[in-house]
Amino acid sequence: MREPPNPIRLGMVGGGRDAFIGAVHRTAARLDDNFHLVAGALSSTPDKALASAADLGLPRGYGSWEEMLERERALPESERIEAVSVVTPNHLHFPVAKAFAEAGFHVICDKPLVHTSVQARELTRIVAEKGLVFGVTYNYTGYPMVREARRLVHDGAIGRVRKVIVEYNQGWLATRLEATGDNKQSQWRTDPERSGIGGAIGDIGSHAENLVSTITGLELDSLCADLTTFVPGRELDDDANLLLRFEGGARGILTVSQIEVGEENDLRIRVYGETGSLTWHQEDPNRLVHKTLDGPARLLTRGNGYLGAAATAATRIPAGHPEAFLEAFANVYAGIADAIRGVDGADYPTVVDGARGVAFIESTVQSAGSDAKWTPMRPVTR
6 binds its own copies (CB under 8 A): yes
247 binds its own copies (CB under 8 A): no
163 binds its own copies (CB under 8 A): yes
Rounded (5°) CA angle 135-326-112: 40
Q: Which stretch binds its own copies (CB under 8 A): 85-93, 95-103, 115-123, 253-261?
A: 253-261
Q: Pick the binder of its own copies from 87, 259, 332, 359 (CB under 8 A).
A: 259
Q: Which stretch binds its own copies (CB under 8 A): 2-10, 64-72, 85-93, 349-357?
A: 2-10
Instruction: State how far the alpha carbon of 173 is from the alpha carbons of 177, 255, 329, in Å.
Output: 6, 16, 24
- Separation between Cα atoms, residue 381 and residue 119, nearest integer Å: 11
Q: Pick the binder of its own copies from 121, 194, 230, 366 (CB under 8 A).
A: 230
Rounded (5°) CA angle 275-278-279: 150
Instruction: State how far the alpha carbon of 24 is from the alpha carbons of 12, 20, 172, 341, in Å.
Output: 12, 7, 19, 23
54 binds its own copies (CB under 8 A): yes
Start-to-end C-alpha separation, the chain: 33
317 binds its own copies (CB under 8 A): yes
282 binds its own copies (CB under 8 A): yes
CB of 201 to its own copies, least distance (A): 14
Q: Which is nearer to its own copies, 99 or 165 (CB)?
A: 165
Q: Which is nearer to its own copies, 128 or 326 (CB)?
A: 326
Rounded (5°) CA angle 244-278-156: 90
The size of the interface with its own copies (CB under 8 A), counted in residues, is 97
What is residue 99's three-state secondary structure? Answer: helix
305 binds its own copies (CB under 8 A): yes
- 20-39 positions binding its own copies, by CB under 8 A: 20, 23-24, 26-27, 30-33
CB-based contact 168:253 (threshold 8 Å) = no
Comparing C-alpha atoms, which of 280, 313, 43 is closest to residue 168?
280
48 binds its own copies (CB under 8 A): no
Q: Which stretch binds its own copies (CB under 8 A): 80-88, 123-131, 193-201, 252-260?
A: 252-260
Q: How many CB atoms lie within 10 A of CB 198?
A: 29
Comparing C-alpha atoms, which of 36, 129, 139 is closest to residue 87?
139
- Separation between Cα atoms, residue 369 and residue 73, nearest integer Å: 45
324 binds its own copies (CB under 8 A): yes
Q: Which stretch binds its own copies (CB under 8 A): 38-46, 50-58, 75-83, 121-129?
A: 50-58
- Separation between Cα atoms, residue 51 and residue 57, nearest integer Å: 10
Q: Pick the binder of its own copies from 285, 349, 354, 357 (CB under 8 A).
A: 285
275 binds its own copies (CB under 8 A): yes
Instruction: State how far the alpha carbon of 291 is from the alpha carbons of 32, 115, 277, 320, in Å.
Output: 34, 39, 5, 21
- 187-226 positions binding its own copies, by CB under 8 A: 224, 226
Q: Which is nearer to its own copies, 66 or 226 (CB)?
A: 226
CB-based contact 62:40 (threshold 8 Å) = yes
157 binds its own copies (CB under 8 A): no
Q: Which is nearer to its own copies, 131 or 295 (CB)?
A: 295
- Separation between Cα atoms, residue 302 and residue 5, nearest integer Å: 26
277 binds its own copies (CB under 8 A): yes
CB of 233 to its own copies, least distance (A): 14
Q: Which stretch binds its own copies (CB under 8 A): 129-137, 191-199, 206-214, 324-332?
A: 324-332
Adjacency order of strands within the sheet including 106-109 = 60-61, 35-41, 8-13, 83-86, 106-109, 134-136
322 binds its own copies (CB under 8 A): yes
141 binds its own copies (CB under 8 A): no
Q: Pick the binder of its own copies from 170, 186, 315, 331 (CB under 8 A).
A: 170
